[in-house]
Structure 1
Amino acid sequence: MQEQPDPLFTPGLTARVELTVTDADTAQAIGSGDVPVLGTPRVLALAEAATVAATATALPAGMTTVGVRVELDHRAPTSIGRTVRAVARLAKVDGRRLLFEVRVADGDDVVAEGRVERVLVDRHRFVERAATA
């Protein structure tokens, strides 16, 4: 029987990123609403940044991950000047598919949580394919 190679990523892998909310991060500025609080698209971008950070050090040369699916519950508003942190934890690996559980918090308060699925791809082929589409 042939041995399987060690997986590049193993469940439990985590990363954290932080953001201090500015005017540019608000729903008003992004166009996703008309209130001066952290906009949902910015919350999602922060959560995705945490998933990218989690895989960054283990990626083989020439490879990257791309987001393919997101489920996010934005539960609480965050005011300008507050600092939020997004934590991504790799929950499942299925071949090239990576499923992360993400949580965004303002101190002890949960701002958002959900799942982000990413797929491992060849960076050059992916960009080349996008350019010819």
Structure 2
Amino acid sequence: MEQQPESVFTAGLSARVELTVSDSDTAQAVGSGDVPVLGTPRALALAEAATVAATASRMPPGMTTVGLRVELDHRAPTPIGRTVVAQARLAKVDGRRLLFEVTVTDGDTTVAEGRVERVLVDRHRFVERATQSS
């Protein structure tokens, strides 16, 4: 019998990931601006990596999560050489939907914060559908 997400994932699961900002992480490099600071897409990718890490140890075999919705406020610039920490906390489980609260910080400074919603899917079926529709 397949486990329901509610029994596998519980509110409060969390994880953190770190990144030392390099030239390839800047707005200039990722095409989201022309300044040499952490680009918003890179901050978001780091926050999403934290959400994936938060569920990794409890992920049922053959399943994965995919991004569904993102809300992110990028509040402060981070120059090259600084280390940012993304933290994700699972705030709510609604069926197969997982809602995370995320923050990206540089020391005591909140660089970005928001919410990431992911949905639990069968990995094989998801990839199969994605490749058939192209």
Q: TM-score, normalised by structure 2?
A: 0.95
- For residues 15-34 of structure 1, what are the structure 2 equivalents within 5 Å? 15-34=15-34
CA deviation profile, 1:52-105 (whole Å, cap 9, x unmatched): 000001001100000000000000000000000000000000010000000000
Q: State the number of aligned residues.
A: 130
TM-aligned CA deviation for residue 7 of structure 1? 1.1
User: 4+ residue stretches of structure 1 with deviation over 6 A?
Assistant: none
TM-aligned CA deviation for residue 24 of structure 1? 0.3
Identity of aligned residues (%): 81
Partner in structure 2 of residue 74 of structure 1: 74
- Structure 1 residue runs of 5 or longer lacking an equivalent are none
What letter matches 1:128 in structure 2? E
What letter matches 1:71 in structure 2? E
**Alpha-carbon RMSD:** 1.2
TM-aligned CA deviation for residue 9 of structure 1? 0.3
- For residues 18-57 of structure 1, what are the structure 2 equivalents within 5 Å? 18-57=18-57
Q: TM-score, normalised by structure 1?
A: 0.96
What letter matches 2:115 in structure 1? R
- Structure 2 residue runs of 5 or longer lacking an equivalent are none
The alignment status of 1:101 with 2:122, answered yes or no, reads no
